Amino acid sequence: MVFILALLAAIALIWCLSAITEKIRLGLSLSQALLYAPFKLFYRICDSRIQLARNAQAPLIYVVTHQSRIDPALMLSLLPDDTLHILDSVTAKSIWMEPWRELARTIAFNAEHVFVSRRLVRALKGKGRLAVYIPANVEPDLRSFRLYRAVIRIAIQANARIVPIFIGGAQTLPFQASGKAPATRHWFPRLKISVLEPMNAAELLARNGSPANRNAHALFDRVAEARLAATDEDQSLFQAVRNAAENFGPGRIALEDATGSKLSYRRLLTGARVLGRDIAGRTRPGESVGIMLPNANATVLALLGIASAGRVSALVNFTAGPANIEAAMNTAVVRIIVSSRSFVEKARLEEIVQALEAVGMEFLWLEDFRASATLREKLCAALLWRYPLIRQDAQKPAVILFTSGSEGLPKAAILSHRNLIANAMQAEARVTISTDDIALNVLPMFHSFGLTAGTLLPLFNGIRLFLYPSPLHYKLIAQLAGRIKPTVMFGTDTFLAQYGRAASDGDFSSLRFAVAGAEAVRDETRKLWRERFGTAIIEGYGLTEAAPVVAVNTAIHGREGTVGRLLPGMAMRIEKVDGVAEGGRLFLAGPNVMMGYMTAERPGELQPLEEGWHDTGDIITVDNEGFITITGRAARFAKIAGEMVPLGILEVLAQDLWPQERHAVISIPDSKRGERIILVTTASKANVESLRKAGKQAGIAPLAIPATIIKVEEIPALGSGKTDYRHTRQLALEELGSSKK
């Protein structure tokens, strides 16, 4: 009995001391501090940003993302006691919430009341504070989205500022506000309270450079930024996967590839540590190490092993040819390349290997590595799998990717650990995914879309990932999808169209959606997937320099013909272009935008971006809800008789006329009109007269219509499936040259 009393007294003392500490530290009332102290002790809450919410000048609306049942209790304990909290009906009636409800004024949530009430505006005017709890859906339905409209309307009428609040980690608590148990349950996760700076409606609209973004969408974007801010970007790729292992279970299967090999998080990180130690013994800290491997478990293992050793992965585009690959490796100053003899043999890459070895580059063959790894090294790695080999720095380079070079010579884009992790988390804050999903990635990792969206995003979020080595095996990929039943898939329009035609009716029926990027999605591809598989293709926009995702449609918030809306945390700047009447040239900034370039003229030297802004070279328009339409590239305009002609529109025109074929429109110098437009096409029936008629109906000036058509069996393409305009232009010039002889 004495022991029990002593124990209770010790608990009471700890409770009181903790409450006093929180009262002094945060300026809480004694009642608030006493009720907050248990949360602080149990959940080890990071609350350094809450003072921003407490000290902000009223009138204010706190917009809290409502994930778990404890969220209102936390906010009642932490927000100023003169705040009016609008609670849902369950929270307003729960018996256990009674002590917290006594801390401040509360009213029960009533949807109709919230949308029409003048009482809330009156409560805010002057020095009022209001806390509204928004459903936690990443993609809110139309009914939930009404709440965003209501909040922004009330803020405008009351001249109030808005403070978004998100409690990171609360999504894993067993008592969810939605009533649905989380896929991964933790009773006492570490919580992080994310609070953003207060902004009024006008500031929200002007924040990311969008010219006419609607109020509700601006608030929706701001709330998504609060979600993003709750994630830990200050970690390396190795640490991010390690954290996923701890969140979702070390024994959870993370990867599977076409060989049938399956890797749990623990086995993946163990193997990465063994390989990383071998690489560390051959290289210097910060040195670039090449990876020439297909989509397979070994590629991810090499990527994480190199990161663990504090080196930088230079991903080799093995479809680029010996000369381009040698130039790329010289630009990145690569001495050692990780590869596999069996892969080189199957992919017939012997010529590339010989060319690289001839200039002094060394290959680390995975077959040799497996044979040479000692039992001691394997045991040490198995014990220390959670820990990287050297101290990690999220701000340092993690990966070197080479731009597609569709219009010129490729450049080396340097992406930090933070760039890659931020981009994966930006996508996670916009598109609904869960641990119930199975992802199929056929896009090569040397392509930024295949690396970040197709590989890292699933790994960080506990999604089982299946890697397939080549996107060109159309029939085999369709059959594979029918067997493994993926729910999420990544591809380009070119590849998705081929898969859709090669598949049997049920092969892709398990997909919730397919994410398409790298090139515009054609209407016939959407129709094919919708009619055959009942699957929506959600289109996005990205570039290697942005790690790569910049904007994306979602299943609920989407608009065909656009590439979606800007990701949270990014800012855009649109500059006018001479001769372009609508829209302008897009500049981007954000946590996912690269550190800078390396070029062949200055190998190994990082050339940082000017003031953090990247010139995309893309010409865009933005509608009043923030949806972005790509109208062309600055390099994809031709100047004909003084008029700027977007070549992309002409490709769309040809695609509408001959939808089953591939088309590329290029321009070449012309002594009379400045430039000459040429259509390169696989359509054997293509003719100038049909183009002119269609152009007239579409309102395209006659001088813009290609007067020359070159028919080919195949349009040159990059490894990602995008049109290779540089080689298409060379092909056209050769064809025109031979026709003159």
Contact partners, residue 620, CB within 8 Å, separation at least 6: 574, 583, 584, 586, 628, 629, 630, 631
Eight-class DSSP state of 332: T
CA distance 63 to 289: 46
Instruction: Please report which helix (H) or strand (E) contains residue 580, including its range.
Output: none
| Strands (E) located in 239-372 | 253-257, 262-264, 288-292, 312-315, 336-339, 362-365
Residue whose C-alpha is closest to residue 616's, from 565, 722, 721, 544: 544
Would you call 43 helix, strand, or coil by DSSP?
helix
Q: Give the burial class of 577: count Cβ atoms within 10 A of its Cβ; 0-12 exposed, 13-18 middle, 19 or more buried.
A: middle
* Cα–chain center distance at 578: 32
Q: Which residues carry out catalysis? A: 66
723: helix, strand or coil: strand
Question: DSSP secondary structure string, 506-543?
Answer: TTTTT-SEEEE-SSPPPHHHHHHHHHHH--EEEEEEE-
Distances (CA, A) of 683 to 437, 712, 726: 39, 8, 20
d(CA 680, CA 674): 20
625: helix, strand or coil? coil
Torsion angle of alpha carbons 95, 100, 106, 110, nearest 10°?
-50
Q: Where are the beta strands (DSSP E) in 366-485?
A: 397-402, 412-416, 438-441, 464-467
Q: Are the C-beta atoms of residues 681 and 654 closer than 8 Å to each other?
A: yes
Q: Which of 79, 78, 73 is nearest to 95 (CA)?
A: 73
